[in-house]
Structure 1
């Protein structure tokens, strides 16, 4: 086993900025790009510390385009992982919370109370979503041991990381607030994850590890 295999691995998960059409829609896997405001949010988020050795991104455009820009600016390797796509929301895709509540009163409340069983019609099964994100996390800490990796992804993916890394119960994952262009920072060491920060608008200049 190499020295890198024993070294702590840093994972900085960054949610994409505001997409075109705003953030009140359940877009799931609809491939909307970032709005001008979303671009500004993302550029501001990475204006401070940039400790990364590589970038991994969801292939959806609201993540991909910024990851490509940043990788070029920093001269870093960039890879895309299909497993980091947002969860699919079925018939809710493209609809606002207000539209869903008007069409099906109480549906959002039932979903938040029981996200496993009260999913919208045609939605990706939550267990399958959590499993694919968990596999992506395991691959990240295995393949990039000892590195500091920036992961550009989605709110749902970041909630799934909390479940995978910290065993947050399924019933509670939608109680975790994940805002646009904010970080969650984890360290993986000796087979365990440690949460170093959540809801971070920027990172310190040092690696913070």
Structure 2
């Protein structure tokens, strides 16, 4: 970037809708969207939305919708392997109730400080954060100056928002709610004065009625 160049990048993060199989810990499980999930995703975007590119997690509950958007709007689609959800290890496929029954207060320990407690055979939160933040910053730089839609997961969005807002890892999961099809908008300004990132909005279309 030359000293006279400045760019503004708008990045819309959208969490996938409801997957088939209902509410459960499915970080690494590759379930597609349910019929309701498709409705949630399609209802979360509008004709007036303008994007120059789509970046997506490789997982079916994200990628299939990202493919639809990219095809309908004739814009590039990039699959980012490191935007996949965190692996919950042996908790995969279990409901919160089942985890509480089988593992006592481990789930509460995870939610209160995910950086200090990892589910058995799961992905350590520090490693998850590092791969997500590195990947997000890579695409932020590669698509600088564009309007970008990123289709990903609740955990991924929490890590990105924590990085943007300076939220410590131990508060990264409990400090923000990310419902299905929730949208978050980030603006990145880069100039000779440095890089400035801000959260412009964070909302669920369903909650808006």
> So what's the TM-score if we normalise by structure 1?
0.92
CA offsets 1:117-139 (integer angstroms, 9 cap, x no match): 22211111111111111111211
Segments of 5+ residues of structure 2 without an aligned counterpart are none
Match of 1:206 in 2: none
Q: Give the match's secondary structure for 1:138.
A: helix
Q: Aligned ranges for residues 64-79 of structure 1 at < 5 Å?
A: 64-79=63-78
Which residue is 2:10 aligned to?
Answer: 10
In structure 2, the partner of 1:205 is none
1:47 to partner: Cα distance:
2.6
Change (3 A) 1:68 1:150: same
Report what 2:152 is aligned to: 153
**Matched residues, number:** 201
CA-CA distance at 1:44 after TM superposition: 0.6
Superposition deviation, residue 30 in structure 1: 0.5
1:199 corresponding residue in structure 2: 203
**Range that drifts further, 154-163 or 106-115:** 106-115
CA contact (8 A) 2:10 2:146 kept: yes
Residues 146 and 122 of structure 1, relative CA distance in 2, 3 Å threshold: same
**Does the C-alpha gap of structure 1 residues 86 and 11 become closer, same or farther in structure 2, counting only changes over 3 Å?**
same
The runs of 5 or more residues in structure 1 that have no matched partner are: 203-209
Q: Distance in 2 between matches of 1:181 and 1:54?
A: 18
CA RMSD of superposed structures (Å) = 1.7
Pick which of 193-202 and 71-80 moved more.
193-202
Partner in structure 1 of residue 187 of structure 2 = 187
Q: TM-score with structure 2 length normalisation?
A: 0.92
| Mapping 1:1-209, distance limit 5 Å | 1=1, 6-22=6-22, 24-175=23-174, 176-190=176-190, 191-201=195-205
Change in 2 beyond 3 A, CA 1:5/1:138: farther
Q: Which runs of 4+ in 1 moved over 4 A?
A: 2-5
Contact 1:5 1:145 in 2 (8 A): no
Of residues 188-197 and 8-17 in structure 1, the stretch that sits farther from structure 2 once superposed is 188-197
Q: Contact 1:54–1:150 at 8 Å: present in 2 too?
A: yes
Aligned in 2, Cα 1:141/1:92: closer, same or farther, shift over 3 Å?
Answer: same
